[in-house]
Amino acid sequence: MKRKLILDVDTGIDDAIGIILAVKSRQFDILGITTVNGNVSLESATRNTCKVLDLLDEQNISVIKGANSPLLRNSFFEHAVHGEDGLGGALQHASIRKQPDEGFAPDFIINSILNFSGEVTLVMTGPLTNLALALKKCPEIVKHVKEVIFMGGVVQGAGNVTPTAEYNLYVDPESARIVLQAGFASITQVGLDVTRKALLRDEHIALIEDRNLREFIDKSTCDYRKRYFERNQVSGCAMHDPLAVGVALEKKLVQTGQYYCDVETRSELCDGQLVCDIQNRLPAHPNVSVCTDVNTEAFFDLFISIMNS
């Protein structure tokens, strides 16, 4: 039996590659892809998600739109990283066949989880607004979810928006807090500590045999890799969201530790920071499985083998 999956995305460049990895892995019964305001607007994230499914010639996967803003805060788009269109200019002239389905993502999440109790894996690769709204409307879904894997936060390193905050948690820290405090039995945090090690290099792209996929990944990550080269003298693109999908595919790719985690929401300097109690100083039980290291070589072996499957 394929594992039932809901992928929640704010399709930007790395979300798009995560979608490709999840679909081409053929390991999941993808119940739906839910979209959220994040890197780009909800409309753009939804359009980009549909474009990626067209690229894969996958018309049967549902796309359901969700929140068009963070829970309490203003949108914080990341066009400097993902480009005006959100895909680095790739697929800009592609005609769109796939259309989003009716419905609202939080309701789709609730209904799917309750219909398939104990079977649904949630992989969250954008701000956690849709899951927070689902939890507010139907708190009992916590008991019926198989597992939650989310790309977000950073524990030992620096943030990528502020010195302490990673983008997905920075954009909607209130939603992240709701999710972390909901009481999920299995929730795994895939943060910058590990995703920054999963650097897509030119040589990885050259190994992708399908011309359309190779050209999409090359084009969409081109500016991202160029900027990375300017800063680090090596061409690379951090596979933040694809690694979250990778963890859903193969937990052995990462080392994890169980820690108490929460999110700062009332700080002038540290809003959106994932506060991880790695020294167990707080009177609180561990609630998150935190990814502390990654087998980068094994991840890219899996990545390339799926891309060429």
User: Is 220:87 a contact under the CB 8 Å cutoff?
Assistant: yes
Selecting among 79, 82, 240, 285, the annotated active-site residue is 240
> Least distance to Ca ion from the beta carbon of 212, Å?
22
**Interacting span for ligand RIB (CB under 6 A) from 58-66, 166-174, 215-223, 297-305:** 166-174
Q: What span, in angstroms and rounded, lies between the C-alpha atoms of 70 and 206?
A: 37
For residue 23, give the nearest of 64, 65, 66, 57 by alpha carbon: 57
Footprint of ligand RIB on 240-259 (CB under 6 A): 240-241
Give the three-class secondary structure for 130: helix
Residue 289, φ and ψ in degrees, nearest 5:
-90, 110
For residue 288, give the nearest of 197, 196, 193 by alpha carbon: 193
Binding test (CB under 6 A) with ligand RIB, winner from 8, 10, 174, 271: 10
Using rule CB under 5 A, residue 32 touches Ca ion? no
62 binds, among ligand RIB, Ca ion, none (CB under 5 to 8 A by kind): none
DSSP string, 195-232: HTT-EE-HHHHHT---HHHHHHHHHHHHHHHHHHHHHH
> Least distance to ligand RIB from the beta carbon of 184, Å?
19
Active site residue 79: no
Using rule CB under 6 A, residue 34 touches ligand RIB? no
167 binds, among Ca ion, ligand RIB, none (CB under 5 to 8 A by kind): ligand RIB
Binding test (CB under 6 A) with ligand RIB, winner from 168, 189, 273, 292: 168
Distance of CA 275 to the CA centre of its chain: 19
> Least distance to ligand RIB from the beta carbon of 56, Å?
19
Between residues 19 and 213, which has the closer beta carbon with respect to ligand RIB? 19
**Total residues interacting with ligand RIB, rule: CB under 6 A:** 15
User: Is 290:259 a contact under the CB 8 Å cutoff?
Assistant: yes
Residue 298, φ and ψ in degrees, nearest 5:
-65, -35
**Interacting span for ligand RIB (CB under 6 A) from 12-20, 199-207, 255-263, 277-285:** 12-20
Using rule CB under 5 A, residue 242 touches Ca ion? no
Q: What span, in angstroms and rounded, lies between the C-alpha atoms of 219 and 126?
A: 22
Give the H/E segment covering residue 275: strand 274-276
Residue that has been written with the tokens 């989003």 in this structure: 100
DSSP 127: -
Using rule CB under 6 A, residue 262 touches ligand RIB? no
Using rule CB under 5 A, residue 8 touches Ca ion? no
At CA 195, angle to CA 242 and CA 260, rounded to 5?
Answer: 110
Using rule CB under 6 A, residue 160 touches ligand RIB? yes
**Total residues interacting with Ca ion, rule: CB under 5 A:** 5
Q: What span, in angstroms and rounded, lies between the C-alpha atoms of 259 and 156?
A: 13
Footprint of Ca ion on 99-138 (CB under 5 A): 125-126
Q: Which residues bind ligand RIB (CB under 6 A)?
A: 10, 12, 14-15, 38-39, 125-126, 151, 160, 166-168, 240-241
Q: Which residues bind Ca ion (CB under 5 A)?
A: 10, 15, 125-126, 241
Catalogue the active-site residues: 240
